[in-house]
Amino acid sequence: MYRRASSDSLTRLWIEPKKDGVSGAELFDSLRFVQLETTPESMFDYVRCLKLLNGKFYLLDRMGTKLLCFDRDGKFLKKFEARGNGPDEYFMLCFLAADPVSKKILVADDVVRKIFIFDELLNLEHVVKVDFAPKQVIAFRDDMILRYENDNKEQYQDSLLRDYDLHWIDLKGDVVQGMIRNRTPKYGLSFLSASGYLDNGDILYYPTLGDTVYRVAVSERTVSPAYIIESGDEDVKLLNDEQRREMDPNAELPEYEKRNYFFPVEFFNVGSHILLRSGMDDMYLYSKNSGNAIRYDKTLENMSGDRTFDYLTSIIYACDGDWCYGPHHAITLQYMAKDYGFSGKYKAMIDSMETDANLFLACFKVKDF
């Protein structure tokens, strides 16, 4: 349901009870495939992160060993692979971002504590060494890096690191500003947060366990509420800012899971829609045009349409405009076909693919509803 707050800039999103028997065709259409070029240099197994920038795909492999770039047709353009102990080398890359304003690609290594900044052709421009685990880096503007962290931060001596979730870092690796006060549980929540870009370059940021999605005006370095998440469903519990500040910082993740808290994992600003994933399989889709919303379980056992289409549209790693993208291996889907009951034209397209080919990307558009 759609409701406006007193401020025109604040929208309330109502988390609906889950709807059973949703089909992918109700929500998505225009499914097509982009086969990534198969060469010795471009091959890799599974994807950790996928981003888009200026019609190019950037993929970080599951083990964090290499970063690859392909054009919109899947042609391989370049690879960055530099594992080692040198100043411009890394141990394992853990996060990937593509800043649509500065046109920079950012990756982080939280083991050797470095942030790498590239131009869109993967030419390395900066390596920033920091004295903390950088983890999620989301923007690079005016020679400053914006990152977030949702782990318990009481071990930090620096008050900006300890007391805030968002941090501005200069090219010397120093934290110069903190934004959004928060206390987070001690264990297992580093992956539970969501961020996305708006068309004007501002960033939407959804902290762990909260009920507020913030708009970060990057050029002004200000933060304001953009969306308030509400729910009447007993299966969803949310915390306001005051309640989050009062959380026990030593509590473990299972304590919160038992209480049915809503864990944000991904927040996509998908053109005229908002797509939010909580946990592994809980999907929430909201239409900015109609104000309608739907919440569903994306596992095939709870879907009701063409099973091949349902599966291909359930994997979303990146969005661009109204389009969503998910990586797949043809050979994996061919093995899955019998057990999952795949059929129809999309199964035939998958069956026609070479089993030793590189990954392909499923591309599909969000429908208004």
Tell me if 61 is assigned to some domain. yes
Q: Which backbone phi and psi does 244 adopt, to 5 degrees?
A: -65, -35
Which residue in this structure is represented by tokens 């421009």?
A: 125
Tell me if 336 is assigned to some domain. no
Tell me if 205 is assigned to some domain. yes
Tell me if 24 is assigned to some domain. no
The tens-digit pLDDT sequence of the chain (369 residues) is 223 333 456 788 888 788 888 999 999 999 999 999 999 999 988 999 999 999 999 999 999 999 999 999 999 999 999 999 999 999 999 999 999 999 999 999 999 999 999 999 999 999 999 999 898 899 999 999 999 887 777 778 899 998 888 999 999 999 999 998 876 666 555 556 788 888 888 999 988 777 889 999 988 889 999 998 888 777 677 777 777 667 666 666 666 666 667 777 888 888 899 998 887 788 999 999 998 899 898 988 888 889 999 999 999 999 998 999 999 999 999 999 988 889 889 999 999 999 899 999 999 999 988
Give CA–CA dist 234/165, Å, rounded. Answer: 28
CATH number at residue 287: 2.40.128.630
Region for residue 221 given its phi and psi (left: phi exceeds 0; alpha: psi -120 to 50; beta: otherwise)? left
Tell me if 340 is assigned to some domain. no
Q: At what angle do helices 330-340 and 344-351 cross, to 10 degrees?
A: 140
> What is the extent of the structural domain holding 207?
2-19+50-297
HSE on the CB side for 216, CA within 13 Å? 24
Region for residue 142 given its phi and psi (left: phi exceeds 0; alpha: psi -120 to 50; beta: otherwise)? left
Task: Report yes or no: 270 and 322 within 8 Å, Cβ to Cβ.
Answer: yes
Please give the tally of structural domains in the chain.
Answer: 1
**Within 10 Å of residue 339's Cβ, how many Cβ atoms?**
8
Q: Considering the entire predicted model, what is its pTM?
A: 0.91
Task: Report yes or no: 136 and 165 within 8 Å, Cβ to Cβ.
Answer: no
Tell me if 285 is assigned to some domain. yes
Tell me if 344 is assigned to some domain. no
The pair of structure tokens assigned to 123 is 């030419």
Tell me if 359 is assigned to some domain. no
